[in-house]
Amino acid sequence: MHTDLLTAQALAERLLITAGVPAPAAAQQAELLVVAEAKGMPSHGLLRLPRLLRRLANGTASPTSTGRHHWSGPSYLTVDGEQGLGPVVAVRALEAIVPAAEQYGVAVCSITNNNHLGMLGYYAGRMADRGLVCLGITTSEALVHPWGGTEAMLGTNPLALAVPARPAPLVLDMATSQISMGKVHDHALRGVPLEPGWALDAKGNETIDPDAAKDGSIAPFGGAKGYGLGLGLGAMVTFLTGAAYGTAVGGTLDDDHLSNKGDLFILLSGGGGRHSTTEYLDQVRRSRPADPASPVAVPGDGARTRYHESVAHGIEIADDLWRELTALDAERREAVLAD
């Protein structure tokens, strides 16, 4: 299904509002889902919405919570997300620590009991647009097998890093696994096989079948190095937030468990180095490419290009997903009229 961003955003907002989410929070959550679609990350886009609606319906996600804040120090904020919507809780927490980062040079917020954040680069890029370096890390269910192992023992444990530059910041957004489990679900939804080496099935055998991979495990990226980075980041977030870790984590890929993973954001203000960063990134872009038809890019360039193309030409949503969302919208409109 081909649609424009405004239509997709309006549909997502309506569904969230009829699920009891206040309009501003619905707009925040819907924006993140649609921006993910527009930037070419459907694994973190609208396919997450049906599950989120089910979680709202059964009480494992709160439509109104925005997080309870406690300052452990002048620049360290701890947040109990109280099972609120991930973007709503995270954006409010980040906005709260911006003044501390600007005053002290560094500020941290650690978040527990928060629902799925979605695309981490969304948050890091927002902060870099404000002139702040941002590092964001989150944990997930045990989806990744250790290097040399066959069982899912650690999360995809993604990280995002954004550095201010002109005309747009450097934004690195990556999981420490070969792919996200959301991408596995997206491939299954579209009927597209996985690439070899991405995943194992439940018996520990390599598979390209995304449905088999759902019950198996994902490979760490870069072999032992990706495994070590994912394990280390997960351990750090767990140590600082007190959240669950590894096989004890739940609540971002199911309907029935409260979310108990951890989120960590670090903001840093610098000494006005945006110009030198811009100059260096431009030097990298101008460096000699392996293929003259494909200029060198830096992290964030591709996503930004895809976003502008999506604004101009719209986005493709899997037909089954679009039918599901529009059917839910029709059902809820009928229910409102019946009341």
Mapping DSSP onto H, E and C, the string for 226-259 reads HHHHHHHHHHHHHHHHCCCCHHHCCCCCCCCCCC
Tokens of 338: 């019946």
Give residue 339's pLDDT: 66
Strand order in the sheet with 217-218: 206-207, 199-200, 217-218
Give residue 331's pLDDT: 86
Contact (Cβ atoms closer than 8 angstroms) between residue 321 and residue 46: yes
Give residue 84's pLDDT: 98
- 244 Cβ contact partners less than 8 Å away, ≥ 6 residues apart: 238, 250, 260, 261, 262
The tens place of each residue's pLDDT in the chain, 339 residues long, gives: 899 999 999 999 999 999 999 999 999 999 999 999 999 999 899 999 999 999 999 999 999 999 999 999 999 999 999 999 999 999 999 999 999 999 999 999 999 999 999 999 999 999 999 999 999 999 999 999 999 999 999 999 999 999 999 989 999 999 999 988 878 988 888 899 999 999 999 999 999 999 999 999 999 999 999 999 999 999 999 999 999 988 999 998 899 999 999 999 999 998 666 678 999 999 999 999 999 999 999 999 999 999 999 999 999 998 999 999 999 988 877 776 666
Tokens of 102: 């600007």
For 24, 38, 171, 274, the CA distances from 129, given in Å and listed in that order, are 21, 19, 11, 11
Tokens of 297: 């890019």
Reference 190, options 42, 44, 45; nearest CA is 42
Q: What is the pTM of this model?
A: 0.92
Give residue 272's pLDDT: 67
Beta strands in 38-167 (DSSP E): 68-73, 76-80, 106-112, 133-138, 159-163
